[in-house]
Each structure stands twice: as C-alpha cells, then as structure tokens.
Structure 1
Amino acid sequence: MPRAVTSTRRQPKAKSVATTSAVTWADDIELVGLVFELEPSTSNSLYSQYTIGLHAWFLDQVRQIDPDLSAYLHDGESEKPFNISALEGELLASGKQLRLEAKQIYHWHLNALSERVVQFLKLWLTNLPKTIELSGASLQIKQVNIAHAPTTYAQLLQSSAQQSLVNLSFISPTSFRRKGHHFPLPVPENLFHSYLRRWNDFSRLPVEQKTFLDWIDESVIIYQHHLESMKVAAGKRGSVTGFTGAMSFGLSKAALANAEFTQLFYGLVQLAPYCGTGHKTTFGLGQTRLDWVEQKSTTTVELLTNMLAERIEELTELFTAQRKRKGGERTDKIAVVWATILARREIGESLKAIAQDLEMRESTVKTYVKLARKALKQGKIDSLST
C-alpha cells in the first residue's frame, strides 16, 4: 500500500471556478501572488517532475490569450517575470511514482513580477478553466485567492521599514549558479544579487549592481540559520543541489548610514516572497517566505526526488567521461539529456511524457534511450575491465 506523506511542495474555458471577490487589483499593479486550491477528482499517479507540467500548462494558458507574451515567457532572455510552486498538501509515495489522493485539497502558488504578467492574470481570472491537466492527472480548480498582496516596486520601496532582524525561509530547494556550478548556500551577496536582478529588470527603478552588492557583502550579518541540502531533479534537464530551511540576518550599525541602500535592502526583502530565490523558480525551486518556518523532516516524496536527481548526476558523469574519451561534440549538453531521459525511463515514465516535457520528438527520445542504454552497458564493461 502507498504510504501517505506531506509535501511542502487544456480544457475549454469556463466561468464556474470559484474566486473570491477580493481577487482583483488596479491597472498599475506590478506584483501579485496567487494561491490555487486544487482537488483531484480521482486518485492518480504523478511523475516526480510534475512541476514541468505545471509550467507548461500555465504557458499554454497564456498562449491561448496572449501568444506574444507566451513566447516572451518561454524564450525571453531576461529574468522570468513569474514563478510557480510545487503542490502543497498530502501526497503519496507509491513505488517510484507520486500519487495524488482523490478529494484532498492541494495548494499551488503562482507569482507575477511584471505589470504585463499581472494584467494578464487579471484578465485570465475572469474566465479560468475548470481543471489543470497533468499527464493524466486532473485537478479541479476549486478556488483562487491572493497569497501576496497586489503592489508595485515603488510601494515596496516606500513601505519598507527597518527591522533589527529579518527572517527568510526557503520552502523549496534553492540554489544559485556560481562559476558554472550550483552553489547551495544563502550567502547574502548571492541572495540579494538574485533579488536585484529581478528588481532591475522589472521595476523601472534600476540600481547600480556592483556598488550595492559590495555594500551587502560588507553590511549584512547572519545571526542564525537552520539549513539542509539536497539534490533535486529540477527544470527540464539535469539535477540541482539546493538547500531548504531558514535564516535570520540584519544590517550592521555602520550600514545604516547609507539611507538609500538601507531602504533598498528592506525593499528587496519584501520582494523575496514574490520573486523567489535563486534559479529555476519557474519550475518550483526557490519558494521563499518572510518568516521563520520550522523545517520538517525529510519525507518519502523528497527521498524519491533526491534519488532521481542522484541518478541523473551519476549517469551524466558517466556519459560525459565516455564522450570526452571519444572526442564527442557538445559533450556536456548531450550527456545531461541522455542522463535525464534514461533516469526517467528507469522509474517508469513514458516516452511520450518525457518527449513532451523536453520538447522533443518521441522518436528522438526513443533513439536517445537506446544510445544511453548502450553507453551505460559499455560503461559497466569498462569498469569491470579495469
């Protein structure tokens, strides 16, 4: 029998979805956070990287209303002006798959960081679909509420109040990119670099990055933290080493002499729950709260996702080494693709589902599975012969 655990983790339009009367805002709003109440009509299996499906479902909703915005969200070179969470609620770990339980309520967060996306959401909420479809799992949209109040970047700056202590909690695995690798530590300079990138892209109140981050490096004091690292399969390819947990920090007395940067510091702290922290936030990573949230013990679901991530990393290292010995081109990219596809096939995911997630032809995915299995077999033979 599956064991219950708790995870902090396209159909025609219809107007029957319940939304509160408060889910509206002025036309000049630039940031808002929504939370969806979802209920599966039946119990269904769910693959461990289902946030890829949530990401694709949302972009398809945008495409139906505003194709240009959808293309920008999908392909734009700037910071992404939205992010999503994983499902929060009672999940089941069933073999190597996850399982949604019928008649249980799950919560899903969707945050917008630019005026254009916020106004899309305002229009979209007037005519929501009845369900979210995730590779055979259908979730009814029961209700939508505001999780983070509608606001503007200028209002965040103006309303930011000085505090002796700031608490941030990282609800989902969080990571940064540093020198071509994952960096799973909330070093203040990395934290505020993450927030400032979004601020400079979307606020129309740009700040000179280096000077401010040098000030952050000199001024922020960490008082307490409770962090745990873990590997997760995140995004469409590869794995990420991230952290979850909470930290408390503040500014040194000397830092307060710089009133402009002090105000921006607290404004960026207020921005954190809207924009998330680090990279791959559009696939559920980096969800952040302005509070100290007690960390729960590792669940069976998290262990499953960790196992998948470790398998992807193990296969990536093997395929990369093999291709380098043979002088293969695009070594790193192809190794990650092969590793992701084979690891997902090993846990029982269909070629069709993998192809849809990776935006590849099913025949190509099938070919890559054969090549990856052949390479894996060769790797085992090489290992035995040494």
Structure 2
Amino acid sequence: MTVNASELTALVLSLKSLNTASLPATHGAMAYAAALDMIGRFDPALTVRLHDTNARKPLTVSPLFGPVRRGREVPLTAGQAVRWRLCGLNAEISAALVQAAIAGSGVRIGDAVFEIDGATTAVEEDADAGNDTFSGLLQATTEAPVEITLSFITPTCFRQRNFELPFPLPRLLWGSLLDAWNAFSPELIDETRYSIEDALYITNYIAETCRADLGNRSAVGFVGKFSYRVVNNYLPLRLLLNLLARFAFYAGAGWQTTCGLGQVRPYFR
C-alpha cells in the first residue's frame, strides 16, 4: 500500500463489504455523502466548506467499481470486494483523503457498510491511482499528440442553462476543463489565446446515452470514447489539449463530478 498526498491526488480504495445490501445503479450522490463523512472525521470544518460552497469543488468521487449491475440496482454480498476512487484537486483535500485512508476506518455508502482493505495513490499499483502537481503537469507536457482520445467511463453530461447536454462538443469539454484548471491551479492559462470551438474537431466516437440518479433528481448522460484533433495541427493548442487531458484524469469532465459523473481516462496517439 503506497499512499501519498500531493496537489493532485487520485486515491483508490479497496473496500470489502461487511453486509448484504443493494445500492441504486447510479449511486454517486450516496458516494459523495460518504466521502464528506470520511473527510469530516478528521476535518469537520473542511466538510462544511465543501458542502456549503456553490463554487466548483476540488474533489471528484467515483461510484463503486466492481459490482455487477442488475437492472436498476447493484446488489452487494458480505465479503465482496469493490474499488472506490476519490480525487483531491488541492493539497488540503488530498491530505484529508489520504489521512482517512491511512486511518482505515469504515465506509458507509447508502445501506452498504465497508471496511478499507487497502489503498493506493501509486499508478504502479493501480492504473486509476496517481499523484501530481499543477507545475508538474505543465513541465511534463512537452509532447503534442496528434490525436487525443478520452474514455468516459461513468455517465457524463454538460450543463447548459437549465438543461444537460449528453455530448462532449469540443467547446463544452475542453472549455470546462480549462475553466476547472483555472479554478484550482496557481498557474493560470490565458484562454483568450485559444479558439477551442473553431480549432478542434471530433475524429471518431462510440457512445451511448444513460440516465444517472443524482439523489433528488436525475440526468441523461453518456459513456463511451471520443477522439479529438486540432485543425491544421496548431502546436500550442495540441500542447494545451495534452495538458488538459492529463488534468482530466483527476478532475473529471462535465457536471456533477462530485457525484460519480464524468470519470475520464485519457489516451494519446
């Protein structure tokens, strides 16, 4: 078990179910409540700030990975192993998540109770784990892939006025990632230098729509893979996309990333 905190931290917890229970197929709102509870055991004031703020939150939370969905439910049996991914987008949140993992206290998601059987932030131990800094991502982004593919592994949608759009148009996807970067990074990117809407296009995709339960409401999202290229191979924009794709590994994409939506994995070519 390798667990360290940084500015950007992807923590993967190995959980073992202590009871027989059933969760909604999309239980991200319950997972978010569980994450706040974990953080609150060590820093109650931080939990209150996270809960009360209307601003973008420096935390992303996945649903449980591993259990098999049956209809609209995810049944769990005592002793069943699952994985749960939590990402901190600043040093304070990352430290609180790691502290909770090291303490090894229990986790309750809905009616399901788990013990923490293992934890890691090392990508060598789990491909969904990781550690980085904003400056580290900037320094490492020296390559300019010709094509970037993003795999959206949980339902994803983008909020527009009073409705959700279940499709990652370039201006919505990359624009929202740029907004998230500038919300949390000490090193801001001047977005006026780039024309994302006019300079990007989708080369290939395979996707399907799905409905996500957000507790007091539901939303239509999508899962699948989308590939993007830059018109005329404009080098500065290719470098920016590389940076934002790597950031998306931690930040997720789109709306309600604290409630299990928008989990993203990038691939480069």
Note the alpha carbon deviations across 1:154-182, whole angstroms, 9 max, x for none: 11112112111111000011000113211
Show the counterpart of 1:201: 183
Rounded to whole Å, the distance in 2 between the matches of 1:112 and 1:266 is 20
Measure, in 2, the Cα distance between the counterparts of 1:244 and 1:135.
24
Residue type of the alignment partner of 2:7: E
Q: CA deviation at 1:186?
A: 0.7
Larger Rg: 1
Superposed displacement of residue 198, structure 1? 1.4
| Structure 2 contact 151–265 (Cα < 8 Å) conserved | yes
Distance between the aligned counterparts of 2:177 and 2:129, measured in 1? 16
- Structure 1 Cα separation of the partners of residues 100 and 227 of structure 2: 37
Show the 5 A alignment for 1:312-351: none
Q: CA deviation at 1:200?
A: 0.8
Q: Distance in 2 between matches of 1:154 and 1:43?
A: 44
Amino acid at match of 1:106: V
Query: Partner of 1:91: helix, strand, or coil?
Result: coil
Local SS of the residue matching 1:119 = helix
- Paired residue for 2:47? 70
Residue among 274, 291, 296 paired with 2:250: 274
Alpha-carbon offset, residue 144 of structure 1: 0.8
Q: CA separation of 1:47/1:248 partners in 2, compared to 1, >3 Å: closer, same or farther? A: closer
1:171 aligns with 2:153: yes
Match of 1:157 in 2: 138
- Shift in CA distance, 148/40, structure 1 to aligned 2, threshold 3 Å: closer
Identity %: 29
User: What is the deviation of 1:81?
Assistant: 0.4
TM-score normalised according to structure 1 size: 0.63
CA RMSD of aligned residues (A): 2.0
For the pair 1:265 / 2:241, whether they are aligned, the reply is: yes
97, 108, 111: which one aligns with 2:87 = 111
2:107 aligns with: 132
The answer on whether the counterparts of 1:175 and 1:278 sit within 8 Å (CA) in structure 2 is yes
Report what 1:86 is aligned to: 63
Give yes or no for contact 2:11–2:98 (8 Å, CA) kept in 1: no
AA aligned opposite 1:133: R
Q: SS state of the match for residue 68, structure 2?
A: strand
Please report how far the alpha carbon of residue 49 of structure 1 lies from its aligned counterpart in structure 2 after TM superposition: 5.0
Gaps of 5+ in 2: 122-127
CA drift of 1:110 comes to 0.6
Larger CA deviation: 109-118 vs 145-154 = 145-154
Q: Following the alignment from structure 1 to structure 2, what is the Cα–Cα distance between the partners of residues 202 and 183?
A: 24
Q: CA deviation at 1:262?
A: 3.9
Change (3 A) 1:148 1:215: farther
Unaligned 5+ segments in structure 1 are 1-19, 293-386
- CA drift at 1:247: 1.1
Q: TM-score, normalised by structure 2?
A: 0.89
Instruction: Say which of 226, 231, 241 aligns to 1:252.
Output: 231
1:40 aligned residue (2, 9, 17):
17
Amino acid at match of 1:226: I
Residues 38 and 97, structure 2, Cα contact 8 Å, conserved in 1: no
